[in-house]
């Protein structure tokens, strides 16, 4: 029995999905698998779990709901708790959430929102998912890697549960994007599941194409929003230029200088580690065959895709766009007074600011600047004007080499239509497309599923940990390419996570695309760490010589990515350019301090990460410290959480380590630095590059360049690296990013053996 407030009940009744309750519940009763499709805002996420709860699917059991994003898992659990009037009586006990780092699940939880990564981890512990009677895979149209895998796995779990006479119901919910990948895929569902379409009230949206397609889409976007604000009647205007760094609020210029720890507190040990004493002894060695291995059956942490963080780093972390300034662009005339910029819609693990759900104050206009996050998963009420740049900023990976680059590309037609649809939820609206109709005609119809765009080594390791040996036979909604699968297996074999078959056997496997290497004990341990396989290998090796706390800090920093603020952006004015230059010099200075000299400098950018994490924690991980040192505050908070989580996981793997997160961690000793270099090299071993010798310099484009096994083209040390001027003979790198050239980031020197 649910006692909703009358206001809440009235609000619910407005939702299109309410009239489909019976249809949906009948389908669920009759079929093991049901697909529910409906426009964003039709009420799928908030209402369907409640329908199921009221129909008794939550009795002695849990209704599981997965979301591709943490922010959605948290926000939706709160919203549903509130709708069910549970928030006051027993906050979040019946409706809970679980994301990578935190959750409020109890024994009384009946509806559990979680990220798809969390459910994937649960399947590893209990393949039949016996604690659930229903699992809802929400936002399936986003086609996130984990969502795709879950759908594949659950198609089998449902069959197994039916055999055991403990049926599991699977609901797949999606915006109205292509569902044929699910329904027309015989391998996935031998019998196509029923699709229930929820008709939403959609008011007409007039779409206006630009005559021409401007280069400067963010400037154009800004001008358009200002124009709407000046000329058009009330109604909010969301705007969505990706990478709108030009509007970002600038942090104040830093003036203070701080070391790691502050120079005065540095002990002799630290001086040594920072390379102030010459290195004379023979190099100590790490034993590459000595790693921690998980005792059987004990993987105990949630894993989760790098999720929101990465995307956010790409988009610039601050979304505040002060449209108040727009008035200067042609004077404040007409319109509805000041436009009110809303708080960021996605703030990492934080919730969207509640103010975006509330009507803006009298005499103001709400302007939402949104990334693709808001395209489908969050509904902000009352939007009347949509300005669509037509662009999306995504990390693009080369399938074989893994080289990544951020690319701003055109969205798909389906996405553009989603964006436009936002304008017609409450009344007829307008969508201004900043591109011509001819350009629109050339857009792809649908976005490509993530699994076809990303390296899959992480995923393959997870699947192998689930004892899925023949990955090629897995019922993927859309399978990754065979090259990507082979590349992933090769890497995992090299890391020791999979058993290498004899050479001839392997050749046969490759010829017939019958990849089937079983997982090793090391592989199982690596799968328990919620980080990429290369990093997991570093953790597995880290126990030796007291290196674990450092390995954890390094891996946490590598996983969060881009700890440093982007300072290479173009400046709008002379003044800003000077300020930017000042900041760049300051950050470069800090990096040199953190890297130290001698042995520690050889550890290169990894030493910088260690220094940044150490110094930041020493200063209490404050916003001020981050701003003063060019660090992204949100990234550093994320590093802190991940360090905590990795420490817990490592303790589960080897309890005798007895680790804890030390905010006043000493810098590593000189010999530890050397061990760390070996650990890093073991993890990044396939990312080796050799400096091109002067006698090989055929072409000027190879000056200061490096050669890697996979690429024909030269690669370079990124200018932001502390090894940029050092040019060691051999290096390992964390990743290659292509901008104007191919650049290696996260570089460490390797000694010639
Ligand atoms: P769907 O999953 O179909 O996109 P939702 O169930 O997420 O739809 O949303 C249904 C409605 O609930 C939307 O109109 C949205 O405005 C409203 N809503 C969702 N979350 C909140 C919230 N935190 N506060 C106020 N309204 C909300
Ligand atoms: Mg939804």
pLDDT digits (tens, 9 = 90+) for 226-274: 888 888 877 666 665 554 333 332 222 222 333 333 333 333 343 333 3
**Best mean pLDDT range from 292-306, 332-346, 401-415:** 401-415
d(CA 186, CA 178): 16
The two three-digit tokens of residue 368, written as one number: 């939402």
Whether residue 189 has pLDDT greater than 80: yes
Can you give the pLDDT at residue 245? 33
List the residue whose alpha carbon is closest to atom 5 of ligand 1.
43
The reported pTM is: 0.75
Distance from Cα 175 to the centre of ligand 2, integer Å: 8
The residue whose C-alpha atom lies closest to atom 21 belonging to ligand 1 is 79
Q: Which of 643, 626, 440 is nearest to 529 (CA)?
A: 643
Query: What distance in Å separates the CA atoms of residue 370 and residue 565, rounded to the nearest whole number?
Result: 20
CA nearest neighbour of 475 among 178, 157, 40? 157
Please compute, for residue 255, the number of CA atoms within 13 A of its CA located in the half-sphere on the CB side: 1
Q: Tokens 């150490």 map to which residue? A: 614
Across the range 42-66, mean pLDDT stands at 94
Confidence of residue 104 (pLDDT cuts 50, 70, 90): confident
pLDDT interval class at 284 (50, 70, 90) = low
Cβ–Cβ under 8 Å, residues 237 and 387: yes
- Cα 44 to averaged position of ligand 2 atoms, centre (Å): 6
Structure confidence at residue 208 as a pLDDT band (50, 70, 90): very high
Phi/psi-derived region of residue 326, left when phi > 0, alpha when psi is between -120 and 50, beta in every other case: alpha
pLDDT value of residue 339: 55
Q: Can you give the pLDDT at residue 374?
A: 63
Q: Quick one: pLDDT at residue 561?
A: 79
User: CA-CA distance, 617 to 640, in Å (whole number)?
Assistant: 8
Q: Are strands 742-750 and 730-738 parallel, antiparallel or unpaired?
A: antiparallel
Percent of the chain residues topping a pLDDT of 90:
38
Q: Confidence band (pLDDT; 50, 70, 90) for 168?
A: very high
Task: Give residue 393's pLDDT band: very low, low, confident or very high (50, 70, 90).
Answer: confident
Output the CA torsion 390→395→400→402 (10° steps).
Answer: 170
The CA distance from 224 to 435, in Å, is 12
Pocket flag, ligand 1, residue 379 (CB < 6 Å): yes
Q: For the range 481-487, what are the long-range contacts, defined as Cβ-Cβ under 8 Å and sequence gap of 24 or more?
A: 481/399, 481/452, 482/513, 483/399, 483/400, 484/399, 484/400, 484/455, 484/456, 485/456, 485/460, 485/513, 485/515, 486/510, 486/515, 487/399, 487/400, 487/402, 487/455, 487/457
At 409-423, the pLDDT tens digits run 899 998 898 888 888
**Position 61 pLDDT exceeds 70:** yes
Burial 532-560 (b: 16+ CB within 10 A, else e): bbbbbbbbbbbbbbebbbbbbbbbbbbbb
DSSP state of 252: P
CA nearest ligand 1 atom 22, residue: 79
Q: What is the pLDDT of residue 24?
A: 96
* pLDDT one-digit tens code per residue, 590-630: 999 999 988 889 999 999 999 999 999 999 999 999 999 99
What is the average pLDDT across 323-348?
A: 39
174 lines ligand 1 (CB under 6 A): no
Q: Which ligand is nearest to the CA of 77?
A: 1
Rounded Cα distance between 483 and 481, Å, is 5
Closest C-alpha to ligand 1, atom 15: 379
> Cα(41) to centroid of ligand 1, in Å?
6
Q: Which residues surround ligand 2, an ion (CB under 5 A)?
A: 44-45
Share of the chain above pLDDT 70, in %: 80
Instruction: Using the mean position of ligand 2's atoms as its centre, give its distance from the Cα of residue 138 in Å.
Output: 7
Confidence at residue 695, expressed as pLDDT on a 0 to 100 scale: 66
């Amino acid at each position: 029995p649910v006692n909703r407030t009358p206001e809440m009940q009235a609000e619910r009744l407005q939702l299109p999905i309410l009239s489909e309750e019976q249809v949906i519940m009948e389908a669920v009763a009759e079929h093991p698998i049901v697909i529910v499709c409906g426009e964003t805002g039709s009420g799928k996420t908030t209402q369907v779990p409640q329908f199921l709860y009221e129909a008794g699917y939550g009795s002695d059991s849990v209704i599981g709901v997965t979301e591709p994003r943490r922010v959605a898992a948290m926000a939706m659990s709160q919203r549903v708790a509130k709708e069910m009037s549970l928030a006051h009586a027993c906050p979040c006990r019946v409706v809970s959430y679980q994301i990578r780092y935190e959750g409020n699940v109890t024994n009384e939880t009946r509806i559990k929102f979680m990220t798809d990564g969390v459910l994937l981890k649960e399947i590893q512990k209990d393949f039949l998912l016996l604690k659930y009677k229903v699992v809802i895979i929400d936002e399936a149209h986003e086609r996130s890697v984990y969502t795709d895998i879950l759908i594949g796995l659950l198609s089998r779990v449902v069959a197994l549960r039916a055999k055991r006479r403990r049926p599991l119901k699977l609901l797949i919910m999606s915006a109205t994007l292509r569902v044929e990948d699910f329904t027309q895929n015989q391998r996935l569902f031998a019998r196509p599941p029923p699709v229930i379409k929820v008709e939403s009230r959609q008011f007409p949206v007039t779409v206006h194409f630009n005559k021409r397609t401007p280069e400067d889409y963010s400037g154009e976007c800004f001008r358009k929003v200002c124009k709407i604000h000046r000329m058009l009647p009330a109604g909010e205007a969301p705007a969505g230029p990706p990478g709108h760094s030009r509007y970002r609020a600038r942090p104040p210029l830093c003036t203070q200088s701080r070391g790691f720890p502050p120079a005065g507190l540095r002990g002799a040990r630290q001086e040594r580690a920072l390379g102030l004493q010459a290195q004379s002894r023979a190099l100590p060695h790490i034993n590459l065959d000595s790693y921690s291995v998980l005792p059987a059956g004990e993987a105990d942490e949630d894993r989760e895709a790098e999720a929101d963080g990465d995307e956010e780093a790409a988009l610039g972390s601050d979304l505040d766009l002060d449209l108040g300034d727009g008035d200067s662009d042609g004077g404040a005339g007409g319109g509805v007074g000041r436009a009110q910029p809303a708080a960021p819609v996605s703030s990492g693990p934080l919730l969207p600011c509640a103010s975006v759900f509330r009507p803006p104050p009298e005499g103001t206009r709400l302007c939402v600047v949104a990334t693709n996050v808001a395209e489908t998963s969050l509904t902000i009420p009352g939007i009347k004007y949509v300005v669509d740049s037509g662009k999306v900023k995504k990390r693009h990976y080369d399938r074989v080499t893994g080289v990544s680059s951020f690319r701003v590309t055109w969205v798909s037609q389906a996405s553009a239509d989603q964006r436009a649809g936002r304008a017609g939820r409450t009344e007829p609206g307008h969508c201004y497309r900043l591109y011509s109709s001819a350009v629109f005609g050339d857009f792809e119809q649908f976005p490509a599923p993530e699994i076809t765009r990303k390296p899959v080594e992480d995923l393959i390791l997870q699947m192998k940990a689930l004892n899925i040996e023949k990955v090629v036979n897995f019922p993927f909604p859309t399978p990754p390419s065979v090259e990507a699968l082979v590349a992933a297996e090769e890497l995992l074999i090299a890391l020791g996570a999979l058993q290498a078959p004899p050479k001839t056997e392997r050749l046969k496997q490759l010829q017939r695309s019958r990849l089937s290497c079983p997982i090793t004990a090391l592989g199982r341990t690596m799968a328990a760490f919620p980080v990429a396989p290369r990093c997991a290998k570093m953790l597995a090796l880290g126990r030796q010589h007291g290196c674990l706390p450092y390995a954890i800090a390094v891996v946490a920093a590598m996983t969060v990515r881009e700890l440093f603020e982007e300072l290479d952006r173009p400046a709008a004015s002379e003044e800003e350019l000077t300020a930017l230059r000042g900041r760049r010099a300051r950050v470069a200075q800090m990096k040199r301090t953190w890297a130290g000299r001698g042995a520690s400098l050889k550890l290169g950018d990894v030493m910088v990460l260690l220094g940044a994490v150490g110094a930041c924690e020493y200063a209490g991980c404050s916003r001020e410290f981050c701003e003063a040192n060019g660090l992204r505050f949100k990234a550093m908070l994320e590093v802190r959480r991940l360090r905590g989580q990795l420490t817990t996981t490592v303790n589960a793997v080897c309890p005798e380590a007895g680790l804890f997160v030390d905010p006043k961690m000493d810098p590593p000793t000189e010999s530890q630095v050397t061990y760390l270099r070996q650990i890093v090299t073991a993890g990044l071993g396939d990312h080796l590059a050799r400096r091109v010798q002067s006698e090989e310099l055929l072409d000027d484009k190879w000056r200061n360049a490096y050669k890697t096994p996979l690429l024909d083209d030269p690669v370079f040390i990124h200018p932001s690296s502390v090894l940029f001027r050092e040019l060691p003979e051999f290096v390992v790198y964390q990743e290659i990013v292509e901008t104007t050239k191919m650049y290696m980031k996260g570089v460490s020197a390797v000694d010639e053996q």
